[in-house]
Amino acid sequence: MAKNKIRGQLPTWIGQIVTLKILDFNTNEMWGGLPREYGNLRNLEEMQLWENDLTGFVPIEWRGLMKITFFGMGHLYITGNVPEWLFELPELRTAHFMRSQFIGPIPNLTKQLHNGIANVTDWDFSCNFLTGDYPTLFDKSLPMPNATINYYSNCFNNETDGSATINSNVNATENTPKNCSRTYNCPGFFEAKSSNFGNCAPCPPSQFVIDTTNCICGREMPSGVGASTFPAGIVVGGAIGGLAVAVFVVFLILMYRWKYEVKYPQFGRKYEGIDDPWNVPQELHRFTLNELEKATDNFSNKCCIGEGGFGTVYRGILVSGKVIAVKCASNASAQGQTEFRNELILLSRLHHRHLCPLEGFCDEDGLQILVYEFMENGDLHDNLFGRKSTSTLSAAQRREIIIGIARGLDHLHSFANPPVIHRDIKLSNVLLDHYNVAKLADFGISKVSPDLHTHVSTRPLGTMGYLDPDYFRTNQLTIASDVYAFGVVTLELVTGQRVFDMNRLEAVNLNDWVKLRFQEEGVRAILDKKLGDDYDEKMFTALTEVGLSCSITDRPDRPTMKEVLSILEPLAATYKPPKKEEHRWSTEYFKHKSLFKDNDTVARGNVEAGDSGSCSLENGRGGSTVPFDSFTTLHPR
């Protein structure tokens, strides 16, 4: 962390990193004392804190640094006596404490020299305020290393020429009492002056003693210090004026919060000062808060149609009569202003028949609101398992939906600029327009992927059942993670079964259940019973094989979405309505080499059933369903 202009105090939590070997904060603007917690760094080998405004004493807890070899503590404001234990550290080679505020005598090091302290190579206590007799312990009879030991420009009592009792490799120049007040040997050195705080050394410029016991300086003047510098009238008047300003500011903040926060407590905001002008994408409409309040009846509960990962979702009707879905960010999901604008730019660039484009947004008063056109036919989850499941999707519709999802994902992975990893493909994030054309939704959690292949995450993303199994091992989401989720969605559409079902005796997990039955009995054994005989065996066999291939556990064995389309689109082009006759199972398209690997075992463990929910709202056009966390724009056919 050297030379980064870091300001503030040294973090105490660093003392918990017991495996740390090098700590380097040199040449910054750090202030305050030396943390006692650093004494826990039993594996630390180097500590470099020089050229900061650090003050106080060297903590006695640091005597536990048994592996330290290098102390770089010069050009600081550390005071107190030189610790005797410093010379007892077994691995210490270099100790730089020059140009600081050390006082008192040098410890008697004869014992340490006899016990092997000769490992030292470089000691430097020059330009301090050391007193007492000049060290005479470096007697020629002792084993001295080829070392540099500097004590010049201190305040020792006895003058010496360095020839009688001082080993020749010890710099003993300018060690007379008169040099205590002279700085020409230490250019830029802070000269000692009298202090109002007992024995504490003067603080760095613009700092004050905040802890007289430990001589630690800080940025704020402590209570009672310097009060006599200004006339009482000025002090009292300034205090009253400052208090009045503070009260007024608090009043304005409370009024602002009352107007918005109390009125809409569920909304997240990011206050970042003045709203900087920016070029709003031409494709997006910048709604005013007043427009959306009118559309949603002031965001009333009766217009609320759900809550998802992004926040609360409302159904609204604009003055033009257009029905919209309004997604308001929660406090947890609100981003910084820059991040929110970057996401808007990304969303405005995504144009494809099978992607849900963004209609507009509102960022007034720090709000983060996304506006989509209300999707009339709801989401796939509601169509398969919810209120709309009574109206069965036909075999042809399911085929077109699967191919549509594949086209949308292929566009994100191969043609979007920059490429995008969706990260949460699932039934409730696939919406259907008036003509049941599939639209991928909820790009609010999508990830721009500069290199397309990998996104590292420190928190769970996606939905259980659709989440790439390899994510739990690597914490990485890739385009292959989207492919896995697509495979699961494909199997759900083919079978009409949920991802997890505790009532499935053969296997709770859908992927495992399909493998067992499809391998043994063919596509008829897994097909959604609601389809009856109205399906093409060849087509649904291919769809099943694709679903299984995409949801293989090992990432390298999964196809890309482009490879998936190369199989499905030719079949769709040559599709003919099925004849009402007995079907025969074929494995013609069952080609993937890793589909039934020996180590790809079937899970039969206890898994809690879980599925994505949706929230429905009746309207004048009949029942429409909108999922908690996904909405879209209606596209004319």
Judge whether 24 counts as a catalytic residue: no
Q: Which of 507, 510, 464, 489 is nearest to 606 (CA)?
A: 507
Neighbours of 146 (CB within 10 A): 7
**How far is Cα 528 from Cα 155, in angstroms, rounded to an integer?**
94
CA 191 to chain centre: 46
**How far is Cα 80 from Cα 308, in angstroms, rounded to an integer?**
59
**How far is Cα 357 from Cα 352, in angstroms, rounded to an integer?**
8
**How far is Cα 547 from Cα 497, in angstroms, rounded to an integer?**
13
Q: Which helix (H) or strand (E) holds 340?
A: helix 337-349
Q: Is 327 annotated as a binding residue?
A: yes
Contacts 24+ apart (CB under 8 A), 12-15: 12/37, 13/37, 14/38, 14/41, 15/39, 15/40, 15/41
**How far is Cα 356 from Cα 345, in angstroms, rounded to an integer?**
15
Exposure letters 81-118 (e unless 16+ CB within 10 A, then b): ebbeebbbbeebbbbbbbbbbbbeebbebeebbeeebe
Whether residue 102 contacts residue 74, with contact meaning beta carbons closer than 8 Å, is answered with: no
Tokens of 504: 């499935």
Cis peptide before 418 (omega within 30 of 0): yes
Residue matched to tokens 């649904």: 540
Q: What is the sign of the dihedral through the CA atoms of 30, 33, 37 and 38?
A: positive
Tokens of 85: 């234990």
In the set 363, 410, 424, 433, the catalytic residue is 424
Q: Which of 362, 394, 385, 388 is nearest to 375 (CA)?
A: 388
Whether residue 539 contacts residue 575, with contact meaning beta carbons closer than 8 Å, is answered with: yes
Three-state DSSP string of 365-419: HHECEEEEECCCCCEHHHHHHCHHHHCCCCHHHHHHHHHHHHHHHHHHHHHCCCC
**How far is Cα 272 from Cα 207, in angstroms, rounded to an integer?**
30
The CA–CA distances, whole Å, from 406 to 102, 367, 441, 569 equal 72, 34, 13, 10
Report which residue type is found at 145.
P
The CA–CA distances, whole Å, from 177 to 311, 340, 455, 464 equal 72, 65, 64, 76
Tokens of 40: 């826990």
Query: What residues are designated binding site for ATP?
Result: 327
Catalytic residue annotation: 424
Query: What residues are designated binding site?
Result: 327
